[in-house]
């Protein structure tokens, strides 16, 4: 197809002939795309006919229209089928989420399950920096999968006060708050959940008819992620760090019945946290793995791009210790790699991220969070980012 490399300008007329050939090729390709669109539309409708038949059977069997487990299975299977193909998984999720929403409508015999939600609801994560946040990918996938008409963006906010004024003025339905605003945002809210107040940090804002309510879902994320691996009640937990995430970890572990020791580089900050939340304090360099069964790394050390760093030398790890790193970029931090090599059980920060996000989704929408789809969306995005 005329791919030879030409030197200098083409002879008169040749450029024009090539342009006409390209125009013909464009017309041909567009005709193929139109034909494929028609075929896709026919298949979509064929699929919806089956969905209508499924709806009739479900009504006879007394089964609900919505089956989240089945939907999650479909997404997993499609992601598997799509592996290595041109369609990015985030688009695959959007296309099939829309198709499933249409199928639910058909199954409900024309009822519009999403109609009750009203006009699109706005959400954003406010932080600085925020450009690499995975929250938009995760929450937009959840909105698409559930048919909730939400739109979620990442907004860089240097100052949280005007950002929260904007949330009020523009009628945002909710917001996620991230570094460095989780503490300062408390002063901008009308109501603060007592647990968030105790932690001293809010990562979730719900706009309840003009009243801004603050919650902390990080602690629930940590407890749920750890709880999948190990029972916390009665265990000795070491928390590294004394920032917002560490406060959530200490609160969560204490709430679950664990005994907690805070290890921090700066004594004053670590001691203040320990006193406030009923934990012990030791300087970071005195960490001894014999003193705990579970270690929660809650400092930013090891986070991309400074992936070569670790808060503890590898010789401070021992087999059998459960090591959770709440950093999730990268998923396997140096600490987790060394913990694995030392025979520890490891828990990465992604589960915590998903569980704190799932709780946010539930607070904002009142719907059950589609966890599998949120996980798929985030894992795919992390893989795409390399």
Ligand X SMILES: NC(=O)c1ccc[n+]([C@@H]2O[C@H](COP(=O)([O-])OP(=O)(O)OC[C@H]3O[C@@H](n4cnc5c(N)ncnc54)[C@H](OP(=O)(O)O)[C@@H]3O)[C@@H](O)[C@H]2O)c1
Catalytic residues: 182
Cis before 305 (ω within 30) = yes
Distance in angstroms (rounded) separating the CA atoms of residues 243 and 303: 15
Q: How far is the CB of 375 from ligand X (least distance, A)?
A: 13
Task: Give the interface size with ligand X as a residue count (CB under 6 A).
Answer: 27
CB of 140 or CB of 178, closer to ligand X: 178
Q: Which of 95, 153, 179, 331 binds ligand X (CB under 6 A)?
A: 179
353 is a site residue for ligand X (CB under 6 A): yes
For 227-249, the DSSP string reads HTT---TT-EEEEE--SHHHHHH
* Among 386, 380, 383, residue whose Cα is nearest residue 90: 380
371 is a site residue for ligand X (CB under 6 A): no
CB of 93 or CB of 298, closer to ligand X: 298
Please say whether the beta carbons of 264 and 242 come within 8 A: yes
Pure H helices in 147-243: 160-170, 194-199, 218-227
Q: How far is the CB of 216 from ligand X (least distance, A)?
A: 10
356 is a site residue for ligand X (CB under 6 A): yes
Q: How far is the CB of 265 from ligand X (least distance, A)?
A: 3
Q: Which of 147, 244, 289, 330 binds ligand X (CB under 6 A)?
A: 244
Q: Which two tokens stand for residue 268?
A: 């004053």
The residues, ordered by sequence, that sit 6+ positions from 86 with a Cβ below 8 Å of its Cβ are none
352 is a site residue for ligand X (CB under 6 A): yes
Q: Which of 71, 105, 218, 338 binds ligand X (CB under 6 A)?
A: 218
CB of 118 or CB of 305, closer to ligand X: 305
Q: How far is the CB of 7 from ligand X (least distance, A)?
A: 54
Please say whether the beta carbons of 204 and 227 come within 8 A: no
Q: Residue number with the shortest CB distance to ligand X?
A: 243
* Among 379, 358, 382, residue whose Cα is nearest residue 80: 379
370 is a site residue for ligand X (CB under 6 A): no
295 is a site residue for ligand X (CB under 6 A): no
Span from 16-24, 45-53, 144-152, 298-306 in contact with ligand X (CB under 6 A)? 298-306
The residues, ordered by sequence, that sit 6+ positions from 166 with a Cβ below 8 Å of its Cβ are 172
**Cross-strand pairs, 32:** none
Please say whether the beta carbons of 133 and 154 come within 8 A: yes
Contact string (CB under 6 A) for ligand X, positions 299-338, x = contact: xxx-x-------x--------------xxx----------
Contact string (CB under 6 A) for ligand X, positions 253-292, x = contact: -----------xxx--x--------------x--------
Residue where the block lists tokens 């070569």: 308
Distance in angstroms (rounded) separating the CA atoms of residues 41 and 167: 39
Span from 28-36, 73-81, 128-136, 238-246 in contact with ligand X (CB under 6 A)? 238-246
The residues, ordered by sequence, that sit 6+ positions from 322 with a Cβ below 8 Å of its Cβ are 226, 229, 230, 293, 294, 295, 344, 345, 346, 347
Q: Which two tokens stand for residue 218?
A: 């990080």
Q: How far is the CB of 323 from ligand X (least distance, A)?
A: 14
Please say whether the beta carbons of 214 and 196 come within 8 A: yes
Sheet of 345-347, strand order = 280-283, 259-264, 236-240, 294-297, 322-325, 345-347
246 is a site residue for ligand X (CB under 6 A): yes
CB of 112 or CB of 267, closer to ligand X: 267
Q: How far is CA 134 from CA 72, 101, 130, 278, 288, in A?
A: 20, 24, 9, 33, 34
Span from 11-19, 152-160, 189-197, 350-358 in contact with ligand X (CB under 6 A)? 350-358
CB of 47 or CB of 265, closer to ligand X: 265
Q: How far is the CB of 186 from ligand X (least distance, A)?
A: 14
Q: How far is the CB of 386 from ligand X (least distance, A)?
A: 18
Q: How far is the CB of 270 from ligand X (least distance, A)?
A: 7
196 is a site residue for ligand X (CB under 6 A): no
* Among 85, 175, 185, residue whose Cα is nearest residue 139: 175
Q: Which residues bind ligand X (CB under 6 A)?
A: 179, 218, 221, 241-246, 264-266, 269, 284, 298-301, 303, 311, 326-328, 349, 352-353, 356
């Amino acid at each position: 197809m005329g791919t030879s490399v030409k030197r200098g300008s083409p002879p008169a007329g040749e450029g024009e002939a090539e342009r006409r050939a390209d125009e013909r090729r464009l017309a041909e390709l567009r005709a193929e795309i139109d034909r494929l669109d028609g075929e896709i539309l026919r298949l979509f409708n064929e699929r919806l006919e089956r969905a209508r038949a499924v709806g009739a059977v479900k009504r006879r069997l007394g089964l609900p229209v919505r089956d989240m487990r089945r939907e999650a299975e479909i997404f997993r299977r499609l992601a598997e089928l799509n592996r290595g193909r041109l369609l990015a998984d985030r688009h695959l999720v959007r296309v099939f989420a829309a198709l499933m929403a249409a199928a639910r409508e058909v199954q409900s015999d024309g009822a519009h399950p999403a109609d009750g939600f009203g006009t699109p609801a706005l959400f954003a994560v406010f932080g600085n920096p925020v450009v690499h946040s995975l929250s938009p990918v995760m929450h937009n996938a959840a909105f698409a999968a559930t048919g909730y008409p939400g739109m979620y963006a990442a907004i860089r906010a240097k100052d949280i006060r005007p950002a929260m004024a904007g949330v009020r003025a523009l009628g945002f339905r909710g917001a996620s708050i991230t570094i460095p605003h989780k503490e300062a945002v408390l002063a901008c809210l009308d109501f603060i959940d007592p647990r968030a107040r105790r932690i001293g940090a809010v990562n979730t804002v719900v706009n309840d008819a003009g009243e801004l309510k603050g919650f902390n879902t990080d602690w629930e994320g940590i407890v749920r992620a750890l709880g999948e691996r190990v029972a916390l009640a009665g265990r000795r937990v070491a928390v590294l760090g004394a920032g917002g995430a560490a406060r959530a970890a200490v609160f969560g572990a204490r709430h679950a019945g664990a005994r907690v020791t805070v290890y921090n580089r700066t004594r004053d900050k670590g001691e203040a946290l320990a006193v406030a939340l009923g934990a012990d304090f030791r300087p970071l360099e005195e960490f001894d793995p014999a003193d705990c069964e579970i270690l929660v790394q809650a400092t930013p050390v090891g986070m991309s791009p400074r992936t070569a760093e670790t808060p503890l030398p590898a010789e401070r790890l021992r087999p059998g210790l459960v090591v959770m790193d709440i950093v999730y970029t990268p998923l396997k931090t140096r600490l987790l790699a060394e913990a694995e090599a030392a025979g520890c059980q490891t828990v990465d920060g992604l589960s915590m991220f998903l569980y704190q996000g799932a709780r946010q989704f539930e607070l904002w929408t009142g719907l059950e969070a589609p966890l599998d789809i949120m996980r798929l969306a985030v894992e795919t995005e992390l893989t795409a980012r390399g």
